[in-house]
Amino acid sequence: MSRLHIHSPGGRAELELDGFGSRVLDDLSSLKGKYSGAVFIVTSGPSAKDFPIERYASIPMVAVNGSIACFPPGIDPFFFLCDDSGVAAAKSDLVGAALRRSRFAMIGPSALESLAEKEPETVWRSQLFVAERVNRWRAAAHISDRRFAWRERKNRDYVIRRSFFSQKLSRVGFSRNFPVGYFSCRTIAYAAIQLAYYLGFSRVIMVGMDLRASLGNFYDPKGERVPSRLDEDYEDLILPHFIWMSKQILGSDFQVFNLSSNSRLPADVIPKIGLSDLDGMLDLIK
C-alpha cells in the first residue's frame, strides 16, 4: 500500500510506502530554466516507430506513458511523464522501465499510487516529481473552471482563456509554472510541452503526436489498448488548447514542431516538418 501526501500545489510532497518508509519527493523548481535549445518529446502514436532515434541521440528526449518502448538500449530519456492512473496500472511494466531508465520523472499523484502497487521498489528509488493539473486534485475540481479562470486572470503563471458562458472554454490555458499546476486537454503531449517550456527549452520537436485513437499506440498489441478519449475530446478540448498555445505562447523564443505528417493537428496550428527539414534546422536549434 502506498500513500502520497502533498501539502500544497507545487509544494512539499511526501511519499509513504509500506516496507520502505517515508521520503520527501524532489522539488521541480530546482530545474526551472536550467536547460536550453532543442528537446524531443516522444509520444505514443504509430508514427513514432518511424523515428530514427539513434540519429538524434545527442539531443535530450522526453518519454511519455509507454513510449519508452521505442528507446533502444543505450539511449535513455532525459525526462519521463505519466499522469494517467489507467496507463500506470495497465502498462506498469513500461512505466516502471521508463522510471528506471530516465534521469527524472514526473508522475501524477493517482498514477504514482497505481504504479507503486506494482513497482514499489522502482518508485522508491526513482528521482520523482509530483505535479497535478490546475484546479484539480485527483480529478476533482477545487472550484468551478469558470471561477478559477476569472480568479487567476492576473496570475502570470497561467495564460487562461476565459469565458462567461462555457466551462470547457474556461479550461483552456497554458501553464508557465508547471509545479503549481499544468493544463490538461486529455493528451499527455500537451502537458509535456508545458514542462519543456518550464525547464527552459526553446525548440520542441514532437514525435508520434498523431492524435488518432483509432490507430492505437505503437506499443499496444491488438485488443490490449488502454481506453482513450482522444477522438471524443479532440474538437472540444485538444484542438482548442493547441490553438490557444499557438496564438498566446509560440513565437521566436519558444517553438513547437510536429514530425507526424498524418497528425490530426493542422499544420497552421503546429508546423509539420520532415526529417530532412529537421536535419537542416538542427544547427540552429541545438
Any long-range contacts for 272-278 (C-beta under 8 Å, 24+ apart)? 273/205, 275/52, 278/205
Q: Cα angle at 208 between 92 and 103, to 5 degrees?
A: 50
Q: Cα angle at 58 between 56 and 61, to 5 degrees?
A: 75
Tell whether pTM > 0.85: yes
CATH number of the structural domain 2-25+33-285: 3.90.1480
pLDDT at 149: 72
- Cell numbers at 271, concatenated: 508546423
**Amino acid found at 168:** K
Q: Which helix (H) or strand (E) holds 206?
A: strand 203-207
pLDDT digits (tens, 9 = 90+) for 68-114: 999 999 999 999 999 988 899 989 999 999 999 999 999 998 899 88
Alpha carbons 223 and 216: distance in angstroms, whole number: 10
pLDDT digits (tens, 9 = 90+) for 146-183: 777 777 778 899 998 765 455 566 679 999 999 989 99
Please state, rounded to an integer, the average pLDDT across all residues of the chain: 86
Q: Which helix (H) or strand (E) holds 148?
A: helix 145-151
In this structure, what DSSP letter does residue 133 have? B
Domain parsing of the chain, residue ranges:
2-25+33-285
Question: Over 80: is that where the pLDDT of 119 sits?
Answer: yes
